Amino acid sequence: MDNKMKKVGLTALAGSLAATTGYAADMSVSGSWAVSYDTNDTSTVTGNPLTLGDSITFSASGETDQGWTVGMSYELDYGGVLDDLKATLDMGDAGKFTFGESAGGSGIRAVKNIVPAADTAVYSMSATTTAYGMARGISQTGYIGYDLSVGDITLSFDTSKTTGGTNRSASVSYTGIDGLQVVAGAAETLTAQANAGVDQETVGIKYTMGSITVAAQANEVDDASTSNDDEDATHIGVSFALSDQVSVSYAQLETDFGKSTKTADETVSGVGVSYTAGSMSIKAYAGKTENDNGSSTAVDLEEKGVTLSFSF
C-alpha cells in the first residue's frame, strides 16, 4: 500500500514538473560571407589586399510567463572563433536589457554615427588604425545595456567594469518629425586613472527627403592624460538613392587636436557606392586621408576597396 502511494505521488510530481518546465524556444541560424579587395597608395605598407569575411550566428529565443522575450546569440567566425556573445531580456514597454561580451550597441554607441554611407563609414576608409574624432564608447567586454523607447524618444544606457575603472555612457534619439532624427550622447571611461579619465560627447542631426539623406555630427573627446590629445571633430555626409538597388554617398570627417602633440587637423573624405539585389550586394569606396595623425608633413593616404557579399 505504501509503495503504491509512493509511486502515485512520484508520478504526479513528475507530471507536474514536466507541465511547468516545458517552454518552447525558437532556434535560428543565419550567416554571410564577403570577399573584399582593398588597396592603398604606394606610400603605405600593406599586406595581402584580398580578404574573406565570414560568420554564422546561432540564435535562440523564448517567452516567459510575464510575456517578456529572452534571447541568446553567438557568432562563429573563421577558424572556429566564437565571439559576439549576447543575452537579451526584452520587457516590452518597460525596456530591453542586453548583457554582452562584445559588440555593444547601447549607450553612446547607439548614436555615435548617424552620417549615411553607401559602403563603409568614412573613418573606416583611413589607412590609420585609430578613428580619430569619433566617440569610441565604453569597453565592450562584460557590459550591461538598457534601451527604452517612449513615443518618439529612445533612451539608451550602458556600463562596464574594467581595470581602468567604471565606464558608463548614455544617449537619446528623437524622431518625432517626419524624416528628421536628432541625437545626443555622452560617455565617461577610464575613471580609475590617477588624473581622471576620458569624456566623450556627440550631437547630430539627420534629415531624409525623398531619395536624399543629409547629416551632420559634432564629436568631442577630452582626455585628462597629458600624453594624449583632445579631439574635436565635425562629421558630415550625404547619400542619394538612385533606385531601390543603387545608392551613392560622400562624407568628410575633420578632427582638430587640442594639445601640442599634433600640428594640423586630420581630414578623411571619401565616396561610396552600393548595389543590392536580394541577398547579394556589391559595395565600393575610395577615401583619402590628409594630415594623417595630425601631422602637417604626413603624405596623403589614399585607399580604395570593393566587396562582394551574400547573406543567407
| CATH code, 288 | 2.40.160.10
Global confidence as pTM: 0.83
Instruction: With respect to residue 1, please indicate whether it lies within any of the assigned structural domains.
Output: no
Asked whether residue 161 is domain-assigned, the answer is yes
Instruction: Give a yes or no: residue 25 inside a domain.
Output: no
- The percent of residues above 90 in pLDDT, for the chain, comes to 49
**Would 100 be classed as within a structural domain?**
yes
Q: Which is more confidently placed, 39 or 283?
A: 283
Residue 221: pLDDT over 50: yes
Q: Could you give the CA distance from residue 107 to residue 289 in angstroms, rounded to a whole number?
A: 29
Tell me if 6 is assigned to some domain: no
Q: Is the pLDDT of residue 5 over 60?
A: no
Report whether 309 contacts 281 (CB < 8 A): yes
Domain contains 128: yes
Mean pLDDT over 177-184 rounds to 97
List pLDDT tens digits, range 18-68.
Answer: 334 445 678 899 888 889 988 877 555 556 788 887 788 889 999 999 899
- According to the model, what pLDDT value does residue 49 have? 81
pLDDT band at 292 (very low <50, low <70, confident <90, very high): confident
Domain membership of residue 113 (yes or no) is: yes
- Contact indicator for 211, 246 with CB cutoff of 8 Å: no
Give the pLDDT mean for 205-232: 90
Q: What is the extent of the structural domain holding 159?
A: 30-311
Beta bridge partners of 128: none
Q: What's the distance, Cα to Cα, between the start and end of the chain in Å?
A: 61
Q: Structural domain tally of the chain? A: 1
Residue 20 within any structural domain of the chain: no
